[in-house]
Amino acid sequence: GAGVSQSPSNKVTEKGKDVELRCDPISGHTALYWYRQRLGQGLEFLIYFQGNSAPDKSGLPSDRFSAERTGESVSTLTIQRTQQEDSAVYLCASTPRGGVTGELFFGEGSRLTVL
């Protein structure tokens, strides 16, 4: 079946604009995660959804960042008033119920550049 799908794959925006990044998880996967990967750095946890609720939002760096998910389907990560430090690859991952601990299925990411 299809893997995790993310769009857009690349986004260039001007400082101060809002952006929306979309993630379509693997069908049937109940959990969904957003991570951020800055150049030369590891993955930074942002938020985790179980179904459409977000029990852990601890990684969202500021109130400019928000995310929502519709049921066990698509999720949107919104960054308001983008700053240059928001430039990164935003990775989405999903896992099935009862899956192997630590096995996240990642999409190819949305590469965000803030000018």
Task: Give the interface with another protein as residue ranges (CB under 8 A).
Answer: 4, 31, 33, 35, 40-45, 48, 50, 56, 59, 91, 93, 95, 100-104, 106-109
Contact by Cβ (8 Å): 11, 21: yes
Kindly tell me the burial class for residue 67, based on how many C-beta atoms sit within 10 Å of its own C-beta (0-12, 13-18, 19 or more): buried
The distance of closest approach from Cβ of residue 105 to another protein in the complex, given in angstroms and rounded to an integer, is 8
80 or 105: CB nearest another protein: 105
Contact by Cβ (8 Å): 34, 46: yes
The distance of closest approach from Cβ of residue 33 to another protein in the complex, given in angstroms and rounded to an integer, is 7
Strands 105-106 and 31-37: unpaired
The distance of closest approach from Cβ of residue 43 to another protein in the complex, given in angstroms and rounded to an integer, is 4
